Chain A
Amino acid sequence: AQTVTQSQPEMSVQEAETVTLSCTYDTSESNYYLFWYKQPPSRQMILVIRQEAYKQQNATENRFSVNFQKAAKSFSLKISDSQLGDTAMYFCAFMTSYNDYKLSFGAGTTVTVRA
C-alpha cells in the first residue's frame, strides 16, 4: 500500500516570502505520479502541480515549484513570492501507473500567508 506523509500540519509565511512544504511517500513502484493540490478556505480543491517519477527535471508552475528526490522518496513544494491568495490547505498526493484510478492523499498542511 502506498502512504503519503506530510509532517507539517501548519505553516505561516510573510507575504512575498518563500515557504517550502514537505512530503514523503512510500512505494515499491518505480513509475508513479505525484501531485500537489490546494484547498482554499472556500473548499474547492484545485491542482497546483504534477510530477512524473520518470522525469528528473523538477516541475514548475509560475511561483510554485517542486523538489523531487526519488531516492529519498521526497516531494516538497516551494511557494515563492507568497501572496495572500496562497492561504490554503495543501495536499500532497500519489498515484501509481498501475493503480486503479486511486489517488492517495497526505494529511495536508495549512499555509497562512500574513500581510
Chain B
Amino acid sequence: DTAVSQTPKYLVTQMGNDKSIKCEQNLGHDTMYWYKQDSKKFLKIMFSYNNKELIINETVPNRFSPKSPDKAHLNLHINSLELGDSAVYFCASSLLTLRGELFFGEGSRLTVL
C-alpha cells in the first residue's frame, strides 16, 4: 500500500513539449512538496502546499505550475520543456506539525531531448 505515489516514474520528451506529473499520498498528511534532484543529486525544494494553499514557491520559472485539488494530491505541470528541466522530481508529504519529517515518493525521472 504505497504511501506517496507518483506517476509516471519515467518521462522522455522533446524540448518545447508540456508534461505533467501526478502525486497522491494516503498518509493523511496536510502538507505536500515538490523537490527537484539534479544530475549531481542535489535536492532543492520547488513548491509546498498546506491544505491546498501554496506556501512555498522557491524562485521556480513560471513554466512550472503546481496544482493541489485537495490535500492528498499535488500535481506538477511543466510547459515548454527545456533541456535544463531534465532531473528527478520528488513529491513528498508531511504533517504541518512535523514538517521536517518528509515521506517521499519514488521520484519521476524527466529526460528532455
- Cβ A44 vs Cβ B105 within 8 A: yes
In the assembled complex, A95 has its CB within 8 A of some CB on chain B:
yes
* CA of A77 to CA of B44, assembled, Å: 21
Q: In the complex the two chains form, is B106's CB within 8 Å of A43's CB?
A: yes
Q: How far is the CA of A13 from the CA of B58 in the complex (A)?
A: 37
Minimum CB–CB distance for B50 against chain A, Å: 7
Distance (whole angstroms) from the CB of A18 to the closest CB of chain B: 24
Number of interface residues of A (CB under 8 A): 22
On whether the beta carbons of A95 and B40 are closer than 8 Å, the reply is no
Contact flag A46-B104 (CB < 8 Å), given A95-B99, A100-B56, A101-B50: yes
Q: Is the CB of B55 within 8 A of A101?
A: yes
Number of interface residues of B (CB under 8 A): 26
| Interchain CB contact under 8 A, B99 and A105 | no
> Could you tell me if B55 and A100 are in contact, using CB atoms closer than 8 angstroms?
yes
Closest to B33 in A: A101
Q: A102 — which chain B residues lie within 8 A by C-beta? A: 45, 48, 56, 58
Contact A47 B101 (CB under 8 A): yes
A44, A47, A91, A95: which contacts B43 (Cβ < 8 A)?
A91
**Which parts of A10-53 form the interface with B (CB within 8 Å)?**
33, 35, 37, 39, 42-47, 50
- Of chain B, the residue at the smallest CB distance from A108 is B41
Whole-angstrom CA separation of A21 from B109 in the bound complex: 28
**Hey, which chain A residues are within 8 Å of B92, CB to CB?**
45
B107 at the interface (CB under 8 A from A): yes
* 6 pairs, A vs B, C-beta closer than 8 Å: A44-B105, A44-B106, A50-B100, A107-B40, A108-B42, A108-B43
